[in-house]
Amino acid sequence: MLFPCAGKIYKEKDMQVFTVLAWLMFIGFFPLSFFWLKRAWVIGKRKDYSYVALKHGVPPPDPERYAKYSILINLIPGAVIAALILIVIVFGLKYQIWTAVAGTTIWVKVFSEFILSRHAHNKGLIKN
């Protein structure tokens, strides 16, 4: 039996592999979202700045200054992925849409965290 998916025709065996990989990716969103929301909680409520703008596992000299940005960088993607999980389960969002949203969210979070860490650790090194 052949299955149409994303403009291509797949055999039944290929579709089974595709379904398993899609489920693994979807199940991976649960710990990812939890980890990001927990990190935002630890920085925001517990005032533990050891997770702020890490570069090689070390926070910057003044992590309190960058804490609010780190909270937002963790809170927004964590909430987006958590909402995406609910939308996929409740409304049955199409595969192409939820993977696009998740992929974009993950990459924006990774790059934002990288930019914040480099900015926080390079303070005072760039002279005008």
In a domain, 44, yes or no: yes
> What pTM value is reported for the model?
0.82
**Which two three-digit tokens encode residue 91?**
């409304």
In a domain, 97, yes or no: yes
In a domain, 36, yes or no: yes
In a domain, 46, yes or no: yes
pLDDT at 105: 97
- Cα separation of 48 and 64, whole Å? 9
In a domain, 102, yes or no: yes
In a domain, 61, yes or no: yes
pLDDT at 126: 57
- The answer, yes or no, to whether residue 1 has pLDDT greater than 80, is no
In a domain, 70, yes or no: yes
For 75-96, how does the pLDDT look when each residue is reduced to its tens digit (9 = 90+)? 999 999 999 999 999 999 998 9
Between the ranges 52-56, 62-66, 80-84, where is the mean pLDDT highest?
80-84
- Cα separation of 112 and 63, whole Å? 16
Q: Domain range for residue 87?
A: 28-121
pLDDT at 125: 57
Diameter of the chain by CA atoms?
Answer: 66
Tell me the percentage of the chain whose pLDDT exceeds 90: 66
Tell me the percentage of the chain whose pLDDT exceeds 70: 84
In a domain, 53, yes or no: yes
- Cα separation of 42 and 51, whole Å? 8
Q: Per the structure, how many domains does the chain have?
A: 1
